[in-house]
Amino acid sequence: MTDTKLEFSPAASPLAERLLPAALEIIARYPEGRSRSALLPLLHLVQTEEGHVSPNGVAFCAEVLGINKAQVGAVATFYTMYKRRPTGEYLVSVCTNTLCNVLGGQEVYDQLSEHLGVGHDETTADGRITLEHAECLAACDYAPVVTVNYDFAVDQATPETAVGLVDKLRSGERPTPTRGARICSLKEMQTQLAGFDDLREGAVADGPAGAPTLRGVTLAQEHGVAVADFNPDTPITKTKPSPREEARTENRGKVATVVDKAASAVKAAAGKVEEVVERRSAKQATDNAGQPVTTGDVKDPETRTAETRNPDASTPDRTGTTDEKKPVATNPAEAAGAAANETAGDGKPAGDTERGESIVSREAADRKSGGTDPNPGWQNVPRGEKEEK
């Protein structure tokens, strides 16, 4: 991709002048044809310059990857680590999720908000601090916790320790965190998230380990639990694979052998089936030589069914008519009900049967004698209070 001359729009050109070499280095980490996978680190790269993902940053990412801005925007708006408006030099996050909240996380956040005069995702007037409440920072054993630019800064925080932290940051200090890496600016953190080393002196210096992290070691020492002949200073040899790797390789070989045998068996069976099919096809072609070709039954399904019931149409079709044998009532109540409800006939519309014609004639006579229907709905005549039925 470095041999390709890239043309950028006026919106993307300013960032391209400063970030293109680093962007191409990021894209080169991915297989050919999979450059779109570089979008996440590219968005972090944009934030190293502007502190947030601006419209110009969206245009730069889209054009360097050959995708449209809507696709970039969909990713940038999905992840909370991509900021869509200018963010302070230090992003202070307070966990307000369940455990941290129970142990005082909300009080820490409220005190910081009042002290700084800003709310969630808002930045102080001096541009130093952006405050946010976070759902979970994955440090429940240190709850409540406060991070600065995604690095742990204060464990088991209180409103007082949190306020002291932001005051030092606003005055230009970078206090030593409770544990972990040294505090850096947001743009410096974005450089690391984009996949590049932080070249500041001591940037990756180790901080002290917290007591919850060392709890297992402490218990082992208290109870005299130790691995026999274990020396933590013993170098790890690389001359041969570990027993686990050897077992994995051995198992892989066994599985491969079984798979190969199964594949051979399947191929052999498939060859025999193919041979039988070819032999039968050849015999069938010889037996049918000179015979007329039949196209099969192409009749309509309804026609075929009718012919099945009455092949020569010599007698009327009685299926479903009143000539069929009626069921016999098993008790007086059923007999009375059957007598009061004559069968509907063969399901034809009224007037198509003798009984239907009599019903139609009777209803017509009733309408004629009664005059106009007092409630002909089809004429849109208003209905009375009591509708006649």
If one compares 343 and 64, the residue with the highest pLDDT of the two is 64
pLDDT digits (tens, 9 = 90+) for 329-385: 778 877 877 777 665 555 555 445 566 666 667 777 776 665 555 555 545 555 555
Average pLDDT, the chain: 79
What b-and-e string marks burial along 347-360, b requiring 16 or more CB atoms within 10 Å of the CB?
A: eeeeeebeebeeee
Does 324 score more than 80 pLDDT? no
Q: How confident is the model at residue 2 (pLDDT cuts 50, 70, 90)?
A: very low
pLDDT of residue 360: 64
In sequence order, what are the residues at sequence separation of 6 or more whose Cβ sits closer than 8 angstroms to the Cβ of residue 94?
Answer: 100, 105, 108, 109, 112, 131, 132, 133, 134, 144, 146, 157, 162
Q: How confident is the model at residue 234 (pLDDT cuts 50, 70, 90)?
A: confident
pLDDT of residue 26: 95
Locate CATH 1.10.10.1590 in the chain: 1-86+186-201
pLDDT of residue 1: 47
Q: In terms of C-beta distances under 8 Å and separation of at least 24 residues, what long-range contacts does 155-163 make, across chains too?
A: 155/179, 155/210, 156/103, 157/94, 157/104, 157/105, 157/108, 158/104, 158/108, 159/104, 159/107, 159/108, 159/110, 159/111, 159/112, 162/94, 162/108, 162/111, 162/112, 163/111, 163/112, 163/115
Locate CATH 3.40.30.10 in the chain: 90-184
If one compares 42 and 219, the residue with the highest pLDDT of the two is 42
If one compares 272 and 290, the residue with the highest pLDDT of the two is 272
pLDDT digits (tens, 9 = 90+) for 117-134: 999 999 999 999 999 999
Looking at this protein, which amino acid is placed at residue 33? G
What b-and-e string marks burial along 254-283, b requiring 16 or more CB atoms within 10 Å of the CB?
A: eeeeeeeeeeeeeeeeeeeeeeeeeeeeee
Does 214 score more than 90 pLDDT? no
CATH number corresponding to 1-86+186-201: 1.10.10.1590
Does 84 score more than 60 pLDDT? yes
Q: How confident is the model at residue 255 (pLDDT cuts 50, 70, 90)?
A: low
How far, in Å, CA of 81 to CA of 87, rounded?
A: 11
Q: How confident is the model at residue 76 (pLDDT cuts 50, 70, 90)?
A: very high
pLDDT of residue 343: 59
pLDDT of residue 292: 58
Collapsing DSSP states into helix, strand and coil, what is residue 275?
helix
pLDDT of residue 263: 72
Does 238 score more than 80 pLDDT? no
What mean pLDDT is predicted for residues 21-40? 93
* pTM recorded for the entire structure: 0.56
Radius of gyration for the alpha carbons in the chain, expressed in angstroms and rounded: 43
Does the domain made of 90-184 have the CATH classification 3.40.30.10?
Answer: yes
